Structure formats: C-alpha cells, structure tokens
Structure 1
Amino acid sequence: MLELRGIGKRLGDRAVLEAVSFDVAAGEVVAIIGASGSGKSTLLSLLTGALRPDAGEVVFSGAPVPQRDRPFAYMPQRDALLPWRTVVGNAAIGLEVQGVPRREARRRAAALLEPFGLAGAERRYPRQLSGGMRQRVSFLRAVVQDRPILLLDEPFGALDAITRDELQRWLLDMWASAGWTIVCVTHDIREAVRLADRVLVLPSAAGGQIREVAVPRDIPRGDGILTDPRVPRLEARLHELLRAASAPS
C-alpha cells in the first residue's frame, strides 16, 4: 500500500534522513523506533506533507503521493484539543478543515463515539476529560477522516502506565475489528512489540541502514505478552539494534 523510495531530507546543514526506503502492506501495523535525532518526527512530517523531501518519493498504491489530498490521517503526540470545542467539535475538526460542512462532520464524529468509549461525553470540554479520554478524542479525530493510513506519533507517550496499557489494549481491539493500516512512531520498545507486525529501527546517522524485526502475530498482545518467552528475546534484539544504530560511525 505504501512505499518510501530513497527518501532524503536535510534540515539546515544536517542530513537527517538519507536514502530511507521501506514499505507498509495494507492492514499492517509498522512501528518505527530510533534514538533521539534519528529522524522519526521528520519522517512523519514528510508523510503528512508538512515537509517536502529533498530526494526520493512516497508512493501510495503504485502512484506518487500528491502534496495535497494525502492518504494519511495524523495523530500527534499531544492531543492538541481545542479548549473551546466539545468532544464532538474536536473530533470533527479534521473533516471541517477538508471542507465537510460542520453539521455533517459532527454527525460522522458522533456516530463513532460509542466504539471509542466516548458515548455520553459528546458535550464535554477537554478540561472535563481524563488523559485517556483526551487521547481517544484525538484518535477519533484521525479515524473519522476515513483515510487509508493512520500515522501515530508517540500516541500514548504522555500517559501514565496504567492508562497507556488500557489504551494499547483498546487500540489492538479496534485494529482487529477495523483492519486499519498504521505507521506508529514510538520510543517504547515494549509498546512497539505489543502493537506492531514489524518494528523498524532508524539509524542515528543519515545513510545508515534501517534494520527490521518481525513480530509474530501469534504472540499474545494482552496479559500473555508478559509470559511469552519470545517477547524478551525480541526486546533484547531491538535494544541491541538501537545501541548499534546509535554507535558513532
């Protein structure tokens, strides 16, 4: 579904990304990890169109992705909810920006409140929501846009451990029923193993090689993830690759 072909990007006099190539299949969850400064956020900015690559191209379903009308819905690390808008108003804003009339945008958002655990909260304002509920609104704002690919930037990084665990489970349940295609940037190796079919490790130095670790889908992603003997081996391998990617060349 998605291909990155030889992507390069410089910020000032520094090459942040160089010759980055990978693909994402339909219905797949791909997690991207890397040391600070490896270009994870820059990569998402290139996909959303906030930045343009200096080299290479992004291809969706065999055709180059246009600068406008891109096939991605983006969920930022912070929920970025507008304090003067209700739950429904915040969830609908992405559609409104795309030109969908306000009433229709809010109707579409309201129709998804129940599966997102937000039924009954449609008239609440962000200050009246828990951190977990705010993240659900942010996720709904992305999903309701009905784009083929979801881009998640540290989606649960700002939450406490219990809420993060709860939302990871919820996301996996939603993914199982909806079949979304997801690219998720995270700094949490356990989260990457729990959520993803594949984990990509970005090199710290531009031009380095992206390393990939496949996560067997039969690994239990609930409580069983703590007892499956393959999980610590996968995490150890990812730690090893991160250390190697961060080592001076």
Structure 2
Amino acid sequence: MSLVVSSLSLAFGEHRVLSDVSFEIAPGEIVALVGPSGSGKSTLLSLLTGALSPDSGSISFDGSEVAGRSRPFAYMPQRDVLLPWRRILDNAALGVEVAGASRASARSAVAPLFSRFGLAGTEKLFPRQLSGGMRQRVSFLRTVAQDKPVLLLDEPFGALDAITRDELQRWLLEIWAENGWSILLITHDIREAVRMADRVLVLPRTAGPLADPVHVTREIPRIDGFVTDPRVPALEEELHSRLRRA
C-alpha cells in the first residue's frame, strides 16, 4: 500500500509555496524530508492531512485518491501539544476519541500500549509531571493509537536535548521495526535524516520539483554502530551540499 504524491502545487496569492512536488513512499519505508526554512515542509504536511487543498496535483494511497476526512495518515506535530488539564491516559486516547470513539472505549484501546511505550505508571499523571522525552512518547502513542498505516512526523525530536533525542530515535526505530509503518519524517537534522531514513528528499527554497532522492544504504546500522560508520560523513556532506544548492 504505497503513498503516491503527484505534482502537488500550491500558491497563496502570488506567492508560490510548492510547485510540482512528487514522491512515493513504499510500505514500511521511512522517507525523510529536509529543506531550508520557508521551503514549504509544513505546507506539504498540511496538504497531506487535508488542512489545505492543493491548487493542482493529487495524493493517492493503495491506488485510490485521498480526499475528504478519511485519510490514511496519523500526524505527530513538532511539540507534544498535550492538554495540560487531561491526565496522560486521556491525552493518549484523544486521537481515538476524535475519530469517534467514546472516552471509555478510547481509554481501553490505548491502555495496553503504555507498557510497550515505556509509559507504565504514568497513566494518572498530568503532562507537567513528565519530562520532555516522556511527553514525546505520549504524543507518539497518541499518534499510532489511531491505527493508520502512514505516520507523518514533524520534527518529533527537534526540541529535545542530544541525549534524549538519541534515546528516542533508537526507541522509535525499534517500535517501527515491530510494526512496519510507512513514515514521512520532517527534520532539520541531517544526521537524524541519515540515521532514520531509507531515502532523503530535499525540498528547494524556491518552489519547484524535488531533486533525485539521496538513498541511504541500510547496510549502515541505524542503532548501534551508526555514529562510527565511515559512510555516514559522506552522506551528510552530500545532503549539506544539496541544501546549499537548494
């Protein structure tokens, strides 16, 4: 069940934000999208989630065009945006509730996931009582609990310190390996893109089509041994070069 984005274009008045953007994500593939500030990364996510409509182009999944509210995507924003007045269990259940389940049913659906996500014992706490890394785990649980085949992750670790970021990257890769979701990862972190993705797409600052993707050989280990792998610096330099040209 592949996600196919074909020739998406969008302008706000005379300002063209995206032009002729096309890419595909295969089942179980992680694709990272990088680009200069203002290149339209967040706008692209808004088109995928349906918050915006393109001027032209199409989005299809499993051979059918995606339209309306029924979409195969679960979106995780950059910040955890947990509701401070709701306990952690109710925050995690929120996406399921929004999809139409009762609060009780939503709680029952997400409660068994707490142990697997390293959150056992936090169910009755409030967001202010958790660290930034733990709040991001709750946000990710809330995202995957919606049971969608494609995850849209917008800078999920950008606000975290380096040690916590490394821990959560490892954790996310382990969870992903068990479930095989397709993932579109928006990131400003070149090293994160190389570590996480099978392919890296570069969005140009001036609206236009994507260049050929940078393929990351997955002979490079994602977890242990990644930092010391001699192929990583060359890939990072290639991406930095593309970003400079973009």
Query: What TM-score, normalized by structure 1, do the two folds share?
Result: 0.97
AA in 1 matched with 2:106: A
* Residue of structure 1 in register with 2:117 after alignment: 116
* Residue of structure 1 in register with 2:180 after alignment: 179
Uncovered stretches (5+) of structure 1, i.e. residues with no partner: none
* Residue of structure 2 in register with 1:166 after alignment: 167
Q: Which moved more, 1:201-210 or 1:20-29?
A: 201-210
Cα distance in structure 2, aligned partners of 1:2 and 1:41:
18
Alignment of 1:46-57 (within 5 A): 46-57=47-58
1:208, distance to aligned residue in structure 2 (A): 4.3
CA offsets per residue over residues 24-52 of structure 1, 9 Å max, x none?
Answer: 00000000000001110000010011111
CA offsets per residue over residues 72-123 of structure 1, 9 Å max, x none?
Answer: 0000000000001111100111111111111110111111001111011111
Matched-pair identity in %: 64
AA in 2 matched with 1:156: F
* Residue of structure 2 in register with 1:19 after alignment: 20
Q: CA RMSD in A?
A: 0.9
CA offsets per residue over residues 128-186 of structure 1, 9 Å max, x none?
Answer: 00000000000001000000100000000011111001000000111111111100100
SS of the equivalent of 1:204 reads: coil
Cα pair 1:92 1:144 within 8 Å, conserved: yes
Matched, 1:9 2:10: yes
1:11, distance to aligned residue in structure 2 (A): 2.1
* Residue of structure 1 in register with 2:99 after alignment: 98
Cα pair 2:32 2:200 within 8 Å, conserved: yes
Alignment of 1:80-91 (within 5 A): 80-91=81-92
AA in 1 matched with 2:186: V
Cα distance in structure 1, aligned partners of 2:12 and 2:215:
31
1:198, distance to aligned residue in structure 2 (A): 0.5
1:222, distance to aligned residue in structure 2 (A): 2.1
Cα pair 2:6 2:58 within 8 Å, conserved: yes
SS of the equivalent of 1:176 reads: helix
* Residue of structure 2 in register with 1:213 after alignment: 214
AA in 2 matched with 1:32: L
Query: What TM-score, normalized by structure 2, do the two folds share?
Result: 0.98
Cα distance in structure 2, aligned partners of 1:33 and 1:110:
34
* Residue of structure 2 in register with 1:233 after alignment: 234
* Residue of structure 2 in register with 1:37 after alignment: 38
Cα pair 1:202 1:211 within 8 Å, conserved: no
Cα distance in structure 1, aligned partners of 2:210 and 2:183:
22
Cα distance in structure 2, aligned partners of 1:12 and 1:102:
42
AA in 1 matched with 2:230: P
Cα pair 1:2 1:61 within 8 Å, conserved: yes
AA in 2 matched with 1:232: P
